[in-house]
Amino acid sequence: MVTGRELIEDLEWRGLVAQSTDREELIRALDNGPVTLYIGFDPTAPSLHIGSLAVLLVLKRFQLAGHRPIALVGGATGLVGDPSGKSEERTLNDESVVADFVSRIRKQVEPYLDFDSSPTGALVVNNLDWTAPLSAIAFLRDIGKHFSVNQMLAKDSVSSRLNANGISYTEFSYQVLQGFDFLELFRRHRCTLQIGGSDQWGNIVAGLDLIRKVEQGSAHCLTIPLVTKSDGTKFGKTASGTIWLDGELTSPYALYQYWLGVDDRDVISYIRIFTFASRDEVGALEKEVAENPGARNAARYLARDVTARVHGADAMAKVEEVSKALFGQGDLAAVDGATLAAAASSLPNAPFTEGLLAIDAFTQAGLCESKSAARRLIKEGGAYVNNERVADESVILQKSQLIKGNLILLRKGKRELGAVLA
């Protein structure tokens, strides 16, 4: 059994604690556990993104330490919209769209937790179940009367909007709904700990106050820092958009490549946050990054671990097989076609046409800035088609070279890839 202090100190070491109501009281509660805790996920998209993975894994860490996790999917709050971190009003989705998002996210959350019948068996709940039956009058009388407008206005998520573009009553009410969630989970499941991103502090504290006023109970909260990047750009974003956990929206190959490409300045902190590596394992990887950064072993460890956790070991094996084949370490024709196609779609590319010269393919795909540059690359022996060196500038790409019938791989030197797509 992991003690409360060991759990909190591990979370702190991993950079997963921003704020807590009372650290020592929380540790004592955990030692007297099991504690039931929850994290909420609002269905604002058809999938969670990789930032959500950090808090989802915190739920798993608590469960492994002997506590009971609840994942709340906000079918009600998703209809309203959280103003936190937003400078303008969210676009409200139709009820049918939100219901579909709830179903998708519920299924996405379930593989990360254990749902057995033990005292630590996880639950997935939907706050629409207790919000929808309540009339507006009952909600205002029974819940709304416990909230001070002065305190609500002082919350960062509200005050920042008031000083910018204003805020609607709908989004202003979000903190009341989230507080009501905590109260209901306290009543239904004796849930005494809420965890969320650091931007949720005000909303979470509102729930603590509501539990104290309505039930004369006590509870705790703990927030997690928002994951950032050292270069100042937004974590979880690429030129092609958000990195999602849904394999249909972000392929396993693209997820793997995202982690493989993380900055050396970030890789160790990400390993602490997104994997279950021990202190000794992290220390060894940190030493390797310092002594031999070019090897990229820490980034590879991170990419393999997270991709396998999100998409499974089989998908991870296919990704690695394709990754090696792309750089001439395997048979392109023998690898998984869907994974190869996903990889090719993320590369700079040109369309296949009859009679397409290799020099034109390298130019159109953006691997060379001009035909003369492509000719020079071929002359210097740095141009490859399907991992075969291009012999001369007169080479024409053939339909028979299309791998799986839909792509030809281009490579400039050792590392720059492109594709011709049919």
Q: If DSSP codes are grouped into helix, strand and coil, which group holds residue 195?
A: strand
Domain boundaries, the chain: 4-224, 227-330, 347-422
Q: With cut-offs at 50, 70 and 90, classify the pLDDT of residue 87.
A: low
pLDDT band, very low/low/confident/very high, at 100 (cuts 50, 70, 90): very high
Distances (CA, A) of 171 to 68, 84, 410: 30, 9, 50
Pairing state between β 416-421 and 407-412:
antiparallel
pLDDT digits (tens, 9 = 90+) for 356-398: 999 999 999 999 999 999 999 999 999 999 999 998 889 999 9
Of the CATH numbers 3.40.50.300, 3.40.630.30, 3.40.50.620, 3.40.50.280, which one belongs to the domain with range 4-224? 3.40.50.620
- Among 255, 385, 414, CA closest to 319: 255
pLDDT confidence tier of residue 231, bands split at 50, 70 and 90: confident
77 band by pLDDT with thresholds 50, 70 and 90: confident
CATH class of 347-422: alpha beta
- Is 137 a residue whose pLDDT tops 90? yes
- Average pLDDT (161-184) is 84
Residue 162 has pLDDT above 80, yes or no: no
Judge whether residue 86 has pLDDT over 80: no
Residue 26 — pLDDT band, cuts 50, 70, 90?
A: very high
Would you identify the CATH topology of the domain 227-330?
Tyrosyl-Transfer RNA Synthetase (1.10.240)
Do the first three CATH levels of 4-224 and 227-330 match, i.e. the same topology?
no
The confidence band for 85, taking pLDDT boundaries of 50, 70 and 90, is: low
Task: Convert the pLDDT of each residue in 402-417 to its tens digit.
Answer: 998 889 999 998 888 9
**Contact in structure between 335 and 341 (CB atoms under 8 Å):** no
Lowest mean pLDDT among 175-184, 202-211, 233-242, 339-348: 233-242
* Partners of 38 in the β-ladder: 70, 194
